[in-house]
Amino acid sequence: MGWKEKILRRSLWVYHLGTGACNNCDIEILDVLTPRHDAERFGIKLVGSVRHADVLLVTGVITRKCLPRVLRVYEQMPEPRVVVAIGACPMEGCVFKGSYNQAGPLDKIVPVSLYIPGCPPKPEAIIAGVAKLMETLK
Amino acid sequence: MNNTLFSFLVFPGFLFIAVIGLLFMGIDRKLSARFQWRMGPPLWQPFVDFMKLLSKEVVLPKNVNKPMFFLSPLMGLSGVIVASLLLFRAPLNPQGAFIGDLVVFIYLLLLIPLSVILGASSSGNPLSSVGGSREIKMVLSYELPFILAIFTAVLKVGSLRMGDFLLYQSQRGALFLTSPSCVFAFVAAFLVIHAKLALAPFDIPEAETEIMGGTLIEYSGPLLALFYLVRAILYFTLTAFLVFIFWGGITFTGWGAVLSLLKILLVLFLVIVVKNINPRIRIDQAVRFFWTRVFVLSIIGMGLAIIGW
Ligand code: SF4
């Protein structure tokens, strides 16, 4: 098993799923890919299809409308797969907490490996989180 | 017998072209990153990506045509391997191949878009069918200029055997430096290579931001790795092919090997420059571009070659 994780660590392909974010977290994710922060240094690549992905980035509160979609996208991912929750929204709802439309925190729906708190988290925080994720994948 | 097996599997066969191809892809990613003022991934990133994809799971979509879905990456891979064998065995033994291996090479290259189209249309996803139909249109538009460009060189050399290109150019100098017709042909072939590699501005069938990876959208794990490898090998084979036909051929011995490697790297560099300074165009623009501009370019080359330039 060892070498698989070691290789996966150096080549994380990311699929970004916005489930109802206020769009700030999505912008911060784009920031991580810009020349200033350049996540491709670590082999991280944004892919267009969830079938190519290793990491599912979830931004935003899980709305009732989005709940079945989150499940479907998660089931379409090939193993081994990792879910990362960006921002305070998928954790407990942030400013949308208690809303009639909130379908609950993300970890009640799918297993989450990494939380990056913040509203929105800074790009540096996202990179630090990803570095921690890489360490756990040893 | 042993020798044949060695040349199929190691040098200049599968292992050689796969390693150099993945390395070329790494150069592409690194240089593209430098063009955008980024650090970029390490040079061996494509090897890591390839190994990772091999170790992942294959997810089968619901309404997929199974045999076609599994066979088409294999078809593409075998096509590109046999094509590059034909190309890279020529410098080892110029007179060894049969006459007409150039034509077979062109045919084998066509297997790759064919495999992409079959894979896309068998995966049962609307976006991949869109990608597949775009790929068909691309093939229809770039194939004729490509063939015309190569046959301009064939007219100059007067032979359909790849080895004869080597002999001719070693005696009279590189084709594209000595004859004006081949300059036109070289430019046309250079533009077609972008479309064959599905690089910007012709990455229309894959268009990540528009149809989410298009033709490859439903592929995952080892099957995707095979397509990745095909693309990587194609990087090496096509750039080497351009140098082989128009720029003095390639050799594997002595200083000639270093020189041919430098030439191939220069062509690769030009490819990456063009890729990075152009945005993606629409499919109708691409078809019009190939049928009016590039086609006219290759026709001019052909005409010049016929009148003896
Ligand atoms: S965590 Fe804050 S910034 Fe991010 S989507 Fe939620 S409300 Fe917006």
Average pLDDT, integer, range A54-64:
87
Residues in B closer than 8 angstroms to A7, CB to CB, are 48, 51-52, 55
Task: Say if the ipTM goes beyond 0.90.
Answer: no
Q: Which amino acid is at A14?
A: V
Q: Are B213 and B203 in contact (CB under 8 A)?
A: no
Rounded-to-integer distance, Cα A50 and Cα A26, Å: 17
Average pLDDT, integer, range B178-205:
82
In this model, does residue B1 exceed pLDDT 70? no
Nearest to A51 among B39, B52, B219 (CB): B219
Beta bridge partners of A116: A86
Q: Are B14 and B79 in contact (CB under 8 A)?
A: no
Beta bridge partners of A115: A85
Rounded-to-integer distance, Cα A57 and Cα A82, Å: 9
Task: Spell out the long-range contacts of B157-162 with Cβ–Cβ below 8 A and sequence spacing 24 or more.
Answer: B159/B99, B160/B99, B160/B100, B160/B101, B160/B102, B160/B103, B161/B97, B161/B98, B161/B99, B161/B100, B161/B101, B161/B102, B162/B86, B162/B87, B162/B90, B162/B97, B162/B101, B162/B102, B162/B105, B162/B244
Tell the residue nearest (CA) to atom 8 of ligand 1. A22
- Among A40-44, A121-125, B47-51, B188-192, the minimum mean pLDDT is found in A40-44
Domains: count for chain B: 1
pLDDT score of A95: 84
pLDDT score of B207: 64
Rounded-to-integer distance, Cα A11 and Cα A47, Å: 12
* B65-85 pLDDT, tens digit each: 888 888 888 998 888 888 888
Distance A89 CA to ligand 1 centre (A): 6
Residues in A closer than 8 angstroms to B59, CB to CB, are 51, 76-78
More confident residue, B18 or B91: B18
Q: Please tell me the pTM assigned to this model.
A: 0.87
pLDDT score of B210: 65
User: Structure tokens of B192?
Assistant: 């077609």
Residue A48 distance to chain B (closest CA, Å) = 4
Distance, CA of B17 to chain centre = 12
- B 192-221 residues inside an 8 A Cβ radius of A: 208-209, 211-213, 216-221
Whether residue B212 and residue A49 make contact (CB cut-off 8 A), yes or no, is yes
Mean per-residue pLDDT over chain B, rounded: 83
Instruction: Give, as one character, the DSSP assignment of residue B289.
Output: I
Whether residue B55 and residue A77 make contact (CB cut-off 8 A), yes or no, is no
Q: Are B190 and B273 in contact (CB under 8 A)?
A: no
In this model, does residue A87 exceed pLDDT 60? yes
* B278-292 pLDDT, tens digit each: 888 888 888 888 888
pLDDT above 70: percentage of residues in chain B:
95
**Partner B contacted by A72 (CB < 8 A):** no
Instruction: Give, as one character, the DSSP assignment of residue B207.
Output: -
Residue A31 distance to chain B (closest CA, Å) = 13
Q: Is A17 helix (H, G, I), strand (E, B) or coil?
A: strand
* B96-121 pLDDT, tens digit each: 777 778 888 888 988 888 998 888 88
Tell me phi and psi for residue A54, to 5 degrees.
Answer: -110, -30
**Partner A contacted by B49 (CB < 8 A):** yes
Nearest to A43 among B48, B213, B217 (CB): B48
Identify the residue whose tokens are 């199929």: B8
Q: Are A117 and A88 in contact (CB under 8 A)?
A: yes
Nearest to A7 among B29, B36, B55 (CB): B55
Whether residue B52 and residue A11 make contact (CB cut-off 8 A), yes or no, is yes
* B208-222 pLDDT, tens digit each: 666 666 778 888 888
The band of A11, judged by pLDDT with boundaries at 50, 70 and 90, is: confident
Rounded-to-integer distance, Cα A101 and Cα A97, Å: 9
Q: Which residue of B has its CA nearest to A43?
A: B41
Domains defined for chain A, CATH in brackets: 11-137 (3.40.50.12280)
Helices and strands in chain A, H and E counts: 5, 5
* B119-150 pLDDT, tens digit each: 888 887 888 888 888 888 888 888 888 998 88
* B248-280 pLDDT, tens digit each: 777 777 777 788 888 888 989 999 898 888 888
**Partner A contacted by B34 (CB < 8 A):** no
Rounded-to-integer distance, Cα A57 and Cα A70, Å: 11
Q: Are A83 and A108 in contact (CB under 8 A)?
A: no
Rounded-to-integer distance, Cα B204 and Cα B284, Å: 10
Distance B33 CA to ligand 1 centre (A): 30
In this model, does residue A138 exceed pLDDT 70? no
**Partner A contacted by B10 (CB < 8 A):** no
More confident residue, B84 or B89: B84
Report the pocket of ligand 1 as residue ranges, CB < 6 Å: A 21-22, 24-25, 59-60, 87-89, 94-95, 119-120
Whether residue A52 and residue B48 make contact (CB cut-off 8 A), yes or no, is no
Distance, CA of B67 to chain centre = 26
| DSSP codes joined into one string, B121-185 | HHTT-HHHHHHHHHHHHHHHHHHHHHHHHHHHHHHHHT-S-HHHHHHHHHHH--HHHH-HHHHHH
Side-chain half-sphere exposure of B171, counting CA atoms within 13 A: 6
CA neighbor of A84 nearest in space, from A51, A111, A122, A53: A111
Listed ranges A72-76, A91-95, B179-183, B214-218; the one with the highest mean pLDDT: A72-76
Residue A135 buriedness (CB in 10 A; 0-12 / 13-18 / 19+): exposed
Q: Are B251 and B260 in contact (CB under 8 A)?
A: yes
B77: containing domain: 2-306
